[in-house]
Amino acid sequence: MRLTFSDAVILEGEELEPVRGSLEIENGRIKSVGGAKRGVNLKGAIIMPPFVNAHTHIADYGWKEGYLGRTQPEVVGPAGIKHQVLSKSGTKAGRAVRSALESMLRTGTVFHLDFREGGVRGVRFLRELGIQPLKTMILGRGDTRKELRRVLRIADGIGLPSINTLSEPVIRNIAAVCRQKRKVFALHVDETAEEHERSVEEYGCSELERALKLKPSFVVHATHASTYELELARQAGVPVVFCVRSNFLLGAGIPPLALALEIGVESWIGTDNGMVCEPNMFEELMAAWQCVRRQNPRAGREEALALLQGATGRPISKLVKKSGWIEKGAPATFMVLARGHNLQFLEDLHAGIVNRARAENMAALFVEGKAFYYGKHQEKAKILKTRNG
């Protein structure tokens, strides 16, 4: 199969460099970027990598707004409402998961990292509900060393709710096993001020500092991390996943996203709890940008680019060791954004996408050369006619 799109603005490579011209696809891979080849005329539409949602809890999707009237510990803490409803979920959780997965596809996400509760049973439950072409990296958990090892046999890695969940020897052991088996090890850190202060009081350092000693694949939240602690993450090369909307709505605090970008921490983006937020990366990026600009009014093109990289190809490159970018020889995986009114007259394309793009701009989503989704734009009919070469 061969397919060419012309008159597009293509965000090429890791730097997401805007290239005006054509995108040529052959046998599911990108044959060329740029040039003036004739093909489906996109009339200036944007071709960019699809989203990677770096932190989800999609099984909670069946209890939307279940957080009302409750604090963060009362929602997602060990005795929180989240765990109560999950234990009694039945078939509702299955329907909710499928709904969340479909919602992610409709909003441009093709890969997500889910922290899955429920041990072995929870991992199998989510694995059976997967839909194409969305890829789910399942990070399971358990209450004992034995259970963790059983989970690791069928999961893509381990995703702990806290460094305090298990004893230090058990956590060190499972982190080492993950590295040995080349699987992902990640955990939540410093999500609330109380967790941060308790760790400093009991251990003399923050949860983030303690977590970095375990050499994790990445950490989530770091909402109350200091400049020193974020610098340690940068030096260790450990990405931090920021979940701005969830932090806001659960009252956990304002994540130090602008500071992380200034220091040079690899910053990924996640939507977190399905009870609290829609798994919509367009909305999450917009919230992240607002957070950055609130903290640093001089934030500009570099920060917008870093956010866009962290929301697209960076997690794939780090965790899967494959290209998540639009470049020659890479899988033809991308989305097409129609300009609409909101994406015209942009002084900076990266900042414009981060701040203004919406799911309504999606004209098409391609995964490895195959079209899986079409929006409600003029490009739809033309693409449909040519999708099979």
pLDDT at res. 375: 65
pLDDT tens for the chain, residues 1 to 389? 789 999 999 999 999 999 999 999 999 999 999 988 899 999 999 999 999 999 999 988 988 999 999 999 889 888 788 777 776 666 678 888 999 999 999 999 999 999 999 999 999 999 999 898 999 999 999 999 999 999 999 999 999 999 999 999 999 999 999 999 999 999 999 999 999 999 999 999 999 999 999 999 999 999 999 999 999 999 999 999 999 999 999 999 999 999 999 999 999 999 999 999 999 999 999 999 999 999 999 999 999 999 999 999 999 999 998 899 999 999 999 999 999 899 999 999 999 999 999 999 999 999 999 998 766 554 444 444 444 33
End-to-end CA distance of the chain: 5
In what helix (H) or strand (E) does residue 114 lie, and over which residues does it extend?
strand 109-115
What are the b/e assignments for 205-230, b being 16+ CB within 10 Å?
ebbbbbbbebebbbbbbbbbbbeebb
Q: In the CATH scheme, what is the code of domain 51-319? A: 3.20.20.140
- CA–CA separation, 295 vs 156, rounded Å? 35
Which tokens in the block code for residue 2? 């061969």
Residue 284 DSSP SS3: helix
Query: Which residues lie across from 9 on neighbouring strands?
Result: 20, 46
- CA–CA separation, 307 vs 351, rounded Å? 9
pLDDT at res. 321: 86
Residue 68's φ and ψ, nearest 5 degrees, are -60, 135
pLDDT at res. 379: 46
pLDDT at res. 372: 85
Secondary-structure class of domain 2-49+325-386 per CATH = mainly beta
Residue 53 DSSP SS3: strand
pLDDT at res. 90: 64
Contacts of residue 154, Cβ cutoff 8 Å, sequence gap at least 6 = 120, 123, 124, 127, 140
- CA–CA separation, 342 vs 3, rounded Å? 28
pLDDT at res. 133: 93
pLDDT at res. 85: 77
